Chains A and B, each alone.
Chain A
Amino acid sequence: MDIKDMDSNLKKTDWDLVIKPKTGFFDLHLEDIWHYRDLLILFVKRDFVAQYKQTILGPLWNIIQPIFTTIMFLLVFGKIANIPTDGIKPILFYMSGITIWNYFSSCFSNTSTTFVTNANIFGKVYFPRLVLPLSVVISNIFRFFIQFGLLLVMMIYYQVKGEYPIHFGFSWLLIPVLVVIMGGIGLGLGIIISSLTTKYRDFTVLVGFGVQLLMYATPVAYPLSYLMGKSYKWIVMINPLSPITEAFRYALFGVGAFSPATLGYSALFMVVSLSVGVFMFSRIERSFMDTV
């Protein structure tokens, strides 16, 4: 037998795939996601196309929602509660907060139901499950940019009117970083919750009102500076979303209470929640069909 024969013999015992009851802790198959990148893109496309099928206003709904929420905030927090807005034009203040918050909350709540809502697909065919939550985050990035566009239009409007000049500078480069951190935290927490919900549905209930409560613990409708000297300020300070919201306003308007350290805390939180999430997710995804 020559070497070539031996080679082909060796090859014959090479299995492409081994299905085992449990895999090692670091058996994540993240490279699989790359093979399924077409699917990822198609899921994003499906999200967009399907969401506004048979609606008259179509993607305009992406803009209508923040407009109305802004008006509501303007009334409740601005006029009734009289909370200051750090010297930023109130309408821009609220709209910027809502834009970044919407992005987080939809990343988080849509990924947190990954397993439960897609159980029928997951039960029938294999593909890396992480593709679905990733596609959710990507389509939310697009939605974020649509709403961000609306915000820019408003900013230009007030610039033209001469009421509030646009503050344009290097700080704008911070925005993509913030989008990544915000999306990362949303994805990380979302897949942690989705892994837990496969067996115990309690977490779905928790997410429902948890997101609402979390918004009040994030400086969306009020500036962080408003809490100076208040005893409950720590609640907002430990919230990793606070520095991102503040930094987002800082990038746009040059006002905001954040420091590299607090933003670093957010970034660290993202890394931790993403790693925990991916580990949990990949352990659950292989057998969740039995418990979901």
Chain B
Amino acid sequence: MRSLPRIEIVGPVAEAWNRMPRSARWLATLVLVGFLFLLPNLTIPVIDTPGSDFASVLFFPVGIYVLIALGLNVVVGEAGLLDLGYVAFFAIGGYAMALLGTETGIPFVLILPLGILASMAGGLILGTPTLRLRGDYLAIVTLGFGEIIRIIARNTDSIGGPRGINQIPHPPSVGGLKFGVIDPKPYYWLLLVIIILVTLLVRNLQRSRVGRAWTAIREDEDAAELMGVPTFKYKLWAFAIGAGIGGSGGVLYASKVISITPDNFLFILSILFLSAVVLGGSGNMPGVILGAVVVAYLPERFRGFSEYRELVFGAVLVAMMVFRPQGLLPSRRRAAELRRGDQSPDDAVGGEVATT
């Protein structure tokens, strides 16, 4: 990594960021990372979560949501493929961890890549027959895939059926870090490391040939194909990489929670992940991270109002889309699209997908 990115956000913060000298950007990044590592040890009055342990909340849902939203962002934000069943990959990762952990003696450091591979395989299995479909057809098929994975888990007795899998082992302790039942901090730190790695991976992909191909596909698939971009191959790549990231989230989640059941992987999670991506600003990583934090954190913060939580969440989603449809931190390209969109009645009815 030779230079820090010019972060793709619009607005005064981004401009200030891009004007800063490189050394200052490095410093700011280091301070931010350091702050994130210290976060579970701090008790900050306003952002604490009454009614649940703050460090636990940081791991799940906040951290896991961030990781998964980053993965989904590859599929939805980069390649523009609408996936309504993303929870499937989270589930595959979780079940890979649970099965390999309980049935075999494979150490955690191997289970993690195996779980990621399993999810990627799932992505390929889903993608190969379905990625020729466009837009909403793809959306409904992915939605179906998410449900199929959950139902298979529920109906297969050898992987616990509706009761799921119990006694999933924790990762082994490394030095002073003990991955036990009580202290959630080591899990959070591990997750944070993985999130940072994923962020770097995705950012480098964005700026590579693959990333440019994704952008081309998202903007106009037919044109991309005509320009010689092997669209099917790159769409499959997006699916597999997104699936792998989702799977890593599943592995980490299962490694902490001891037991998982099919009901941990309901359709509503796919919706929440997608909300996180769109709410934050599809295609822009800082935005997506912020969106995931908001979607995961707000319900925990306002546990006291749990009766009205989902009611308010639904209303917030609508209000958000009405008043700021580009997301909290839109990507620069997307903001430009929106300004253009103001004049196009074609977009005005929501017609963006090619109708061949």
On whether the two chains bind one another, the answer is no
Residues of B within 8 A of A (CB): none
